[in-house]
Amino acid sequence: MLLLLRRLVACLFVCVSLALPASAQQSDTPIQLLLQQFGPEIQKSSRKSIGPAIDALANSGLPDAQVVLERWQAKDMWFEKETGLFVFGAKADGGALTLFDVAGGLEIGTAPRKSYKQLKPNSGIRGMIASALVQFQLNDPDPVTRQRALTAIERDAEATHLAALRASIDVETDAALKARKARLERLLTIRFAEEDAERIAAIEGFSGDLSVDLRAALNPLVQTRLDVAQSLPEGAMPVDVGEGLSPDAAYALLTAQNLAPPRTDPDMLRAALIENIDGDQIAGIQVATLDTDDARAAVYATLAQSGAVPPLVTDEDVATTLERFVFFEAFVGAPVPVALAAQTALKDIEAKLAMSQTVDLALDGLSLASIYFLAAIGLAITFGVMGVINMAHGEFIMMGAYTGYVVQLFVPDYTLSILLAIPLAFAVTFAAGVVMERLVIRWLYHRPLETLLATFGVSIALQQLAKNIFGTQARPLTAPGWLDGSLVINDVIAISYIRIAIFVLALIFLALFLFVMNRTRLGLEVRAATQNPRMAASMGINPDRINMLTFGFGSGIAGIAGVAIGLYAKVTSEMGADYIVQSFMTVVVGGVGNIWGTLLGATLVGTLQKGIEWLNPSNTLAAQTYMILFIILFIQFRPRGIIALKGRAAEA
């Protein structure tokens, strides 16, 4: 055997040194032979049957095994359709494939791609390969590879990993990796260690931690199974029928274990009756009369008396049978002491978890509130300050988002393009707002209902225009890389950076709004012109100009909001319509004409929606419905919103 191997290696050397052309496919290298041995399984590429092949490769001790596994995992391995020989391949131009030998990895020429088939291990198999590679990679000089090994263990731990991991901790040089290894070792100890004491110690060592992987290690340990017996076995926890367990479920458990006859449900009863039909009668009763449940039960009872069918199991029968048994839960995941330790640890975690979940929910609510606020702030200006109902506000949001999309078409750098898109979106929607104010709204200041309808006309026209230009498919608006990912506080509390950015943007707008309104000449004039236009005009303020600028300002902010919303969600022609009703609600609930009211309104609407979602996690639509209902009721009882303006301003 050894001789054979040596000869093969020698042959390999010869071949390589001769650097033979493409035809020199090595079919008898040890690694190729091993692969051939599992040829059908590898080609089939199914997790169910691939296990032995991966194990054989990993345990073969061949120097090429690691490389083969790694490149197989990276979808680099191909096989020749005719011969079934494996090679590494790289796609070349013109439908060709550059081939490399699986043994040694040297280039052996090119071939048409058609005659080869790529191996595409699915992510299940890739996980298995990664798991098998752990033993090679844990002590790899490259820290990235070591990291990969740790990730593989985290995803798909096996009992054998524990020993390898323990051996690798001491020699680890990288401090961060060492800590990670140490933590992983404790987790694996909980799951796989032999000694109960060791496992309990590991469990107790984690006190205060509430990460998902710890819970994932602990939860299987406390798994129980519902069982039934004549008397309670040792270490089991009894379950009372009627409290933790419904009588029906308990009886079903008995029937499943053949400890009691099954209950006669209407279907079985019906089937039994049909089986006993005799001409047009069953047990002497006309079939045609059996159109009520009572009549059927009576016939069944008659049949049961004659022994043709098993007797009816009544509710009393069930009750008496149940009394004869005890139902209990027994630990199945771990020995009782370990399970109890895990249970205590989980109880500890649970209390802290509830706390974290509340914080996370609050963060979600806050984030949604900031999105609503951002969408509504432009409206707070045009509707709140000027009293103009602008149904096209949503379309200004959409215009802003599309501006962002168009900018990204021309400026590929995401950071730069967003920095460009924000002022551009403001400019575009500012201009659109001014145009609309000049052409339409100016003529309708005294006819608010008609403003509503006219701006609605503008809204549907703009929406359709966007569809004609950009199509109805969602367009990509991609956030710069530094906004990818989330701020993770622990495994429960996490919020994506993009949402934080939106939150910050909302705060900036709030400050900007307050600054412009309270600290600038424009703001003073705006307030004057809206409170009493005639008086303002006589003081030398040009109300036309002020109205135009105010409307443009509100629209411009909507445009920037559009960029932000497009970044976190989608850019479609209908995105504006999604926000318009909510935005109006936000402004109205908060109290028209007061930015703090809008802020409160957004907070109320956002947290309320998240709160309802939390109560009914399987149906988000219901949350939206109930939120709107709540708002309708709220407005009925507080028609002027949370912060109602008092005095004359309220009449404006």
Partner 1 sequence: MTDLALTPPRRAFVLRHPSAVIFIGILALFTIGVTVLAEGFGIGVISTSFVKTLGKTLCLCLVALAMDLVWGYCGILSLGHMAFFGIGGYAIGMWLMYARTEIIVQTSLAAAPLPPTPQEISDGIAAQIFGVVGASEFPPIWAFAHSLPLQLAAVVLVPGLLALVFGWLAFRSRVTGVYLSILTQAMTLALSLYLFQNDSGLRGNNGLSGLQNLPGQGDVPQSTISILFFWASALALGLGYLMCAWVVSGKFGSVIRAIRDDEARVRFLGYSVEAYKLFIFTITAVIAGIAGALYYPQAGIINPAEIAPIASIYLAVWVAIGGRGRLYGAVIGAAFVSLLSTWFTGGQAPDINLGVYTVQWVDWWTILLGLSFVGVTLFAPRGIGGLFDLVAARRMPNRHGQDLGPDAGALREKEADR
Partner 2 sequence: MSPKLMKTSAAALLIASAAPAFADCPVKVGILHSLSGTMAISETTLKDTMEMLVEQQNAKGGVLGCQLEAVVVDPASDWPLFAEKARELLTVHEVDVIFGNWTSVSRKSVLPVIEELNGLLFYPVQYEGEESSKNVFYTGAAPNQQAIPATDYFLEELEVEKFALLGTDYVYPRTTNNILESYLQQKGIAKDDIFVNYTPFGHSDWSKIVADVVALGADGKKVGVISTINGDANVGFYKELAAAGISADDIPVVAFSVGEEELSGLDTTNLVGHLAAWNYFQSADSDANEAWIAAWKERMGEDRVTNDPMEAHYIGFNMWVNAAEAAGSTEVDAVREAMYGQEFPNLTGGTAVMLPNHHLSKPVLIGEIQEDGQFDIISQTEEVPGDAWTDYLPESAVLVSDWKDLGCGMYNTSSSTCVQIKSNY
Residues in contact with partner 1 by the rule CB under 8 A:
266, 270, 273-274, 277, 287-293, 296, 389, 440, 443-444, 446-450, 452-454, 456-465, 467-468, 581, 584-585, 588, 619, 621-622, 624-625, 628-629, 631-633, 635-637, 639
Q: Does 212 bind partner 2 (CB under 8 A)?
A: yes
β-sheet with 224-229: strand ranges across: 224-229, 326-331, 237-239
Among 104, 127, 262, 311, binds partner 2 (CB under 8 A): 127
Give the nearer residue to partner 2 in terms of CB position, either 110 or 356: 356
Q: At closest approach, how far in Å is the CB of 47 from partner 2?
A: 5
Window 616-635: residues binding partner 2 (CB under 8 A)? 617-621, 624
The item of partner 2, partner 1, none sharing an interface with residue 574, based on CB under 5 to 8 Å by kind, is: partner 2
Q: In the chain, how long is the greatest CA-to-CA distance?
A: 110
Q: Which letter does DSSP use for residue 246 in this model?
A: -
Give the nearer residue to partner 2 in terms of CB position, either 345 or 526: 345
Q: Does 42 bind partner 2 (CB under 8 A)?
A: no
Q: At closest approach, how far in Å is the CB of 614 from partner 2?
A: 8
The item of partner 2, partner 1, none sharing an interface with residue 444, based on CB under 5 to 8 Å by kind, is: partner 1
Of the candidates 287, 292, 288, the one whose C-alpha atom is nearest the C-alpha of residue 273 is 287
* Contact window for partner 2 (CB under 8 A) among 254-262, 292-300, 317-325, 470-478: 470-478
Query: In the structure encoding, which two tokens stand for residue 35, read together?
Result: 């692969």
Among 528, 569, 628, 652, binds partner 2 (CB under 8 A): 569
The item of partner 2, partner 1, none sharing an interface with residue 292, based on CB under 5 to 8 Å by kind, is: partner 1
User: What crossing angle do the helices spanning 30-37 and 2-18 adopt, rounded to 10°?
Assistant: 110
Q: Does 570 bind partner 2 (CB under 8 A)?
A: yes
Give the nearer residue to partner 1 in terms of CB position, either 154 or 578: 578
Check: CB of residue 300 under 8 Å from CB of residue 276.
no
Report the residue count for the chain. 652
Q: Does 364 bind partner 2 (CB under 8 A)?
A: yes
User: Which DSSP string corresponds to 411-422?
Assistant: ---HHHHHHHHH
Give the nearer residue to partner 2 in terms of CB position, either 50 or 67: 50
Give the nearer residue to partner 1 in terms of CB position, either 516 or 635: 635
Count how many Cα atoms sit within 13 Å of the Cα of residue 29 in the half-sphere of its side chain.
25
Check: CB of residue 459 under 8 Å from CB of residue 391.
yes
Query: In the structure encoding, which two tokens stand for residue 192, read together?
Result: 């796989």
From residue 77, give the alpha-carbon distance in Å to each of 178, 393, 569.
33, 55, 38
Among 486, 518, 520, 531, binds partner 2 (CB under 8 A): 486
Place of tokens 């000027």: 386
**Interstrand relation of 224-229 and 116-118 (parallel, antiparallel or unpaired):** unpaired
The item of partner 2, partner 1, none sharing an interface with residue 446, based on CB under 5 to 8 Å by kind, is: partner 1
From residue 181, give the alpha-carbon distance in Å to each of 40, 138, 184, 456, 519.
37, 10, 5, 61, 57
Check: CB of residue 517 under 8 Å from CB of residue 403.
no
Q: Which residues contact 346 (CB under 8 A, 6 or more apart)?
A: 215, 218, 219, 222
The neighbouring-strand residues paired with 535 are none
Window 599-618: residues binding partner 2 (CB under 8 A)? 610, 613-614, 617-618
Give the nearer residue to partner 2 in terms of CB position, either 448 or 457: 457
User: Alpha-carbon distance 448 to 466, whole Å?
Assistant: 27
Q: Which residues bind partner 2 (CB under 8 A)?
A: 45-48, 75, 120-127, 155, 212, 215-220, 360-361, 364, 367-368, 371, 467, 471-476, 478, 484-486, 491-492, 494-499, 565, 568-572, 574-575, 578, 610, 613-614, 617-621, 624
